[in-house]
Amino acid sequence: MPCPTCGATGERTQILPGYWRCDAVVRVGELVGGPAVPAAEPAETKRCSTIYIQTRADDEAALCRCGDPAIGECTECTRAVCADHSALWQGWRVCDRDLANARMRSRAAALAEERRREEEKAAAEAERQRQRTELLELADEDAVWVLYARDEKRTEQEIRSAVHVLRGLNAAEFTDVCLYLLPYARDPEKRRTGVTRLSGWAFEGADYHGRSWFLTRKGEWHRSGAYGASASEGRWKKVRFDDVEKRAVIDELAWQQRVDSALI
């Protein structure tokens, strides 16, 4: 197809499928809209640089494969297409075959992405179930540290493992482990009970269910809240620490740790 401006056919460059730029050097007067130049004067020349669309090859008729007159050419395969066998896609005319292939590729990509998301979801669920069923091997001191120290977030597996280990201890063993570990975890705190002061470690938190415990350096347990005197009054009641009290302390520690670790 010749250039619509200067009529040149040989000197051209394809810049996009179906789009050509004319590189022919012609006289300015021969260009459309150029000033008329008298024949006696030398003519100024320049590159045409016209960009035009070629809807068909030079030796082909502008017909679609069905025989109907073409309205343009496919931007993918540059074949002449009619309105029935083409469509506009994002402003570009595409033949029905290339459009179907593009849709198939898009659908395949969407299915692959959906499968990837399902696999990630299944893997996350499997990991969650593994953490719920498999317990870590923790020493007694490590189990107390996991539930008592709140300097970092814990996983559900760590919390469940610590609870499992500490429930296997009796009340005296639990007290001995706490006395061994807590000096390394926190500095002793002061609590007032009547006219005396207690020095030790508090088992309490913002999300405890109205109960608090206090372990002294001598291994004595004091309680306030729902099971004892009101903590707001600053009074603590010395209690006999048995397995029931030990289980309550462990449960409250685990609950507070879940809240702090955003696992609730």
Name the nearest CA neighbour of 211 among 260, 247, 160, 162.
247
**Model pLDDT, residue 34:** 43
**Model pLDDT, residue 194:** 67
CA atoms within 13 A of residue 72's CA, in its CB half-sphere = 20
CA distance 55 to 222: 93
Residues of the chain with pLDDT under 70: 1-2, 4-7, 9, 17-18, 28-43, 53-61, 194-195, 225-234, 264
106-149 pLDDT, tens per residue?
Answer: 899 999 999 999 999 999 998 888 777 788 889 999 999 999 98
Residues 95 and 77: beta-carbon distance below 8 Å: yes
Residues 6+ apart with CB under 8 A from 242: 171
Q: Strand order in 211-216's β-sheet?
A: 189-193, 196-203, 211-216, 221-225, 237-239
- Among left, alpha and beta (phi > 0; psi -120 to 50; other), residue 90 is left
List Cα–Cα distances, 220 to 172, 180, 198, 214, 250, in angstroms. Answer: 11, 14, 10, 8, 17
Question: 25 by DSSP, 3-state: which?
Answer: strand
**Model pLDDT, residue 224:** 84
**Model pLDDT, residue 37:** 44
Residues 171 and 243: beta-carbon distance below 8 Å: yes
- At 5, give phi and psi (nearest 5°): -95, -50
Residues 66 and 84: beta-carbon distance below 8 Å: yes
Residues 229 and 236: beta-carbon distance below 8 Å: yes
**Model pLDDT, residue 24:** 83
**Model pLDDT, residue 190:** 81
